[in-house]
Amino acid sequence: MISIAGVSDLPQILRSAKAKHGRNHWVVSYWENIIGDPKSQREKLTAISPINFANSVEAPVLLIHGKDDTVVPIRQSTAMYKALKKADKPVEFVTLKGEDHWLSRTETRLALLKEVDKFLDQHNPAEIL
């Protein structure tokens, strides 16, 4: 399983967006439209957050995240990494120095592809299934 700049904790990303941008900012509206209302759907959002399923993961995981991502904060991947480690799951975490959410720099896009290739070589999907 490979996650590139993924969201692992739905309520947390909503709180983070509100703290950073303010309650009435379009970014908050965007996340709420995509994820859900943090007030009326709080229990549901917590229940479906990937971070709460770390114990259920059965495949090796590669998390990749740009350190300068302003769309999905790197703490989303950091938290997932810690949850998977705590659950004693095979996980690797690659941070891309100076990279944003869109992998705007050529050298980091290349680094990402090399990491994915290395991960797939080490964890042949056909052998896992």
- At 2-54, the pLDDT tens digits run 999 999 998 888 888 888 888 888 888 888 888 877 778 888 888 889 999 99
Give residue 83's pLDDT.
97
Candidate ranges 8-22, 79-93, 114-128; pick with highest mean pLDDT: 79-93
Place 61 in a pLDDT band, splitting at 50, 70 and 90: very high
Task: Look at domain 2-128 and name its CATH class.
Answer: alpha beta
Give yes or no for residue 97 having a pLDDT over 60.
yes
Predicted TM-score (pTM) of the model is: 0.86
Give residue 56's pLDDT.
95
> Domain residue spans in the chain?
2-128
Q: Distance between CA atoms of 127 and 129, rounded to whole angstroms?
A: 6
Q: Tell me what the mean pLDDT of segment 105-129 comes to.
A: 85
Percent of the chain with pLDDT over 70: 96
Question: Cβ(54)–Cβ(79) under 8 Å?
Answer: no
Give residue 14's pLDDT.
86
54 CB neighbour count, 10 Å cutoff: 21
Q: Distance between CA atoms of 41 and 125, rounded to whole angstroms?
A: 35
